[in-house]
């Protein structure tokens, strides 16, 4: 069956007020019911007094209309109509540029989320225009066409645009044939469009989750109806397309990183026709930590901090690695650093102060190694404690097989562990 979404707009009031009055500084418009008090009306009947320059609109709660797949709308407005460039030639034609804004949680005018539906977004004239003051007949002058909606031969304006949530259409000029003898007229409209998820869908967040190997992240699922409103009381079941990369708890949505790669993780629920799926990226983790808690230096004294760079989750052998580690610590100053490593050769220097630059080389090409003992000294400046938090600003390596450079900051998740250093009075 075709996926359709049908509802009335209750925001036609500003359009009618401007069209008929030309300007309306303080129109008297009753407040529509809220979601907490009553359903919004299906039909909005508007009456404009041209001479007085006022408009009164009142919502009418009608019985469900046969043939509508969505007969009663609750909650906030789901579309908004707005007008601009309004004019009347004084004898025959009202006209205005009218836009449609989509305020629901899925796109209007599409059945697949990417392709424009041939019928676009249509605004049907459901009642009127009907003359309520003066003499004459008002008709829609330039409708896009007529079709059977609830009644036969209902005029409509068609917007050939796919409108995502909050999107506003391009303006379309609406014209009415209005003789000068007409003082007031009424009309009401329906807005109709095909949608992708006629029976609702499941939203999964975050949209692009990244999980480290050996780490977990819990995804969140919200079951929604066709409007995008949350539906409570639904059981959600989770699954992973590639559990060898990312595993997921079927009941909680907790994703565990197993191996580097990607997997599609989906949440399904009874009712909505569409599961919610996201691509989970699993990355190796590079840990930056200290080998041991440093000895507390005295004011004017020094203490050594030995940094460890754990790249054991990187699968390729590495022949060289270069990087910068930036440190912070307000109570300490930096001195010359020393170096010692299980790699064949290590160069390190600290320029400028607070940045440890290093270059490690291994002729054999070590696979998943730990780079130890990037050791440097700090000097106590004043009494107190300060956290030193290492921040990798560069970390690259060379694959000895392909000789390609590996940007580990992009390839991996970097987890740093701060170290607390206390300066004491001598």
- Kindly state the average pLDDT of the residues 393-413: 85
Q: Is 2.60.40.680 the CATH number for 285-423?
A: yes
Low-confidence winner among 40-54, 121-135, 201-215 (lowest mean pLDDT): 40-54
Intervals of CATH 2.60.40.1080 along the chain:
201-283
- Between these two residues, 162 and 48, which has the higher pLDDT value? 162
Q: What band does 317 get if pLDDT is binned at 50, 70 and 90? A: confident
pLDDT of residue 399: 78
pLDDT of residue 223: 93
Q: And the tokens for 171?
A: 């303006």
Q: Is 300 left (phi over 0), alpha (psi -120 to 50) or beta?
A: left
CB proximity list for 368: less than 8 A, separation 6 or greater:
311, 312, 313, 314, 315
pLDDT of residue 272: 65
Residue-wise pLDDT tens digits, 229-282: 898 888 999 999 999 999 999 999 999 999 999 999 999 998 766 789 999 999
Q: What band does 189 get if pLDDT is binned at 50, 70 and 90? A: confident
Q: Is 2.130.10.10 the CATH number for 201-283?
A: no
pLDDT of residue 369: 61
- Would the pLDDT of 200 be above 70? yes
* Cα distance from N-terminal residue to C-terminal residue, the chain: 83
pLDDT of residue 279: 98
CB proximity list for 31: less than 8 A, separation 6 or greater:
none
pLDDT of residue 38: 31
Residue-wise pLDDT tens digits, 145-175: 999 877 788 899 999 999 999 999 999 998 8
Intervals of CATH 2.60.40.680 along the chain:
285-423
Q: Give the E-state strand segments of 160-275 in sequence order.
A: 172-177, 182-194, 201-205, 210-212, 216-218, 220-224, 236-240, 246-248, 254-257, 261-269
With pLDDT > 70 as the criterion, what percentage of the chain qualifies?
Answer: 69
Residue 114, SS3?
coil
- Between these two residues, 384 and 348, which has the higher pLDDT value? 384
- Would the pLDDT of 218 be above 90? yes
Q: What band does 413 get if pLDDT is binned at 50, 70 and 90? A: very high
- Would the pLDDT of 346 be above 80? no
CB proximity list for 53: less than 8 A, separation 6 or greater:
21, 22, 23, 24
- Would the pLDDT of 118 be above 90? yes
pLDDT of residue 5: 41
Q: What band does 283 get if pLDDT is binned at 50, 70 and 90? A: very high
pLDDT of residue 273: 67
Residue 61, SS3?
coil
Residue-wise pLDDT tens digits, 80-100: 777 777 777 778 887 778 888
pLDDT of residue 197: 87
pLDDT of residue 47: 56
pLDDT of residue 13: 30
- Kindly state the average pLDDT of the residues 104-124: 90
pLDDT of residue 87: 74
**Rounded Cα distance, 384 and 303, in Å:** 14
Among 147, 153, 141, smallest CA distance to 192 is for: 147
pLDDT of residue 142: 95
- Would the pLDDT of 104 be above 90? no
pLDDT of residue 124: 85
Q: Match 């019928």 to its residue by tokens.
A: 119
């Amino acid at each position: 069956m075709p996926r359709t979404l049908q509802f009335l707009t209750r925001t036609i009031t500003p359009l009618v007020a401007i069209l008929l009055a030309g300007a309306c500084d303080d129109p008297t418009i009753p407040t529509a019911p809220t979601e907490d008090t009553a359903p919004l009306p299906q039909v909005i009947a508007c009456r404009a007094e041209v001479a007085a320059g006022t408009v009164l609109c009142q919502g009418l709660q009608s019985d469900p209309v046969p043939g509508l797949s969505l007969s009663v709308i609750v909650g906030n407005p789901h579309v908004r109509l707005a007008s601009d460039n309004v004019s009347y030639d004084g004898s025959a034609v009202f006209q205005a540029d009218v836009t449609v804004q989509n305020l629901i949680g899925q796109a209007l005018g599409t059945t697949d989320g990417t392709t424009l539906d041939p019928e676009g977004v249509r605004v049907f004239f459901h009642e009127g225009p009907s003359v309520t003051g003066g003499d004459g007949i008002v008709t829609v002058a330039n409708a896009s066409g007529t079709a059977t909606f609830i009644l036969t031969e209902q005029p409509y304006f068609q917007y050939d645009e796919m409108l995502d949530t909050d999107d506003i259409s391009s303006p379309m000029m609406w014209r009415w044939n209005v003789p000068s003898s007409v003082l007031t007229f009424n009309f009401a409209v329906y807005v109709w469009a095909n949608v992708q998820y006629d029976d609702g869908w499941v939203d999964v967040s975050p949209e692009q989750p990244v999980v480290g190997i050996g780490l977990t992240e819990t995804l969140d699922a919200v079951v929604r109806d066709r409007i995008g409103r949350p539906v409570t009381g639904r059981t959600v079941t989770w699954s992973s397309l590639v559990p060898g990369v990312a595993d997921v708890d079927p009941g909680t949505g907790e994703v565990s990183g197993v191996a580097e790669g990607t997997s599609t993780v989906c949440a399904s629920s009874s009712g909505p026709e569409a599961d919610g799926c996201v691509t989970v990226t699993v990355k190796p983790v590079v840990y930056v930590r200290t080998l041991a808690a440093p000895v507390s230096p005295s004011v004017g004294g020094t203490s050594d901090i030995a940094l460890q760079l754990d790249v054991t989750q990187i699968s390729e052998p590495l022949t060289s690695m270069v990087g910068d580690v930036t440190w912070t610590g307000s109570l300490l100053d930096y001195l010359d650093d020393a170096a010692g490593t299980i790699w064949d050769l290590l160069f390190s220097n600290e320029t400028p102060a607070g940045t440890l630059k290093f270059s490690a080389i291994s002729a054999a090409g070590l696979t998943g190694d730990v780079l130890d003992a990037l050791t440097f000294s700090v000097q106590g400046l004043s009494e107190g404690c300060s956290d030193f938090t290492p921040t990798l600003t560069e970390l690259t390596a060379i694959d000895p097989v392909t000789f390609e450079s590996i940007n580990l900051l992009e390839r991996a998740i970097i987890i740093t562990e701060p170290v607390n250093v206390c300066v004491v009075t001598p």
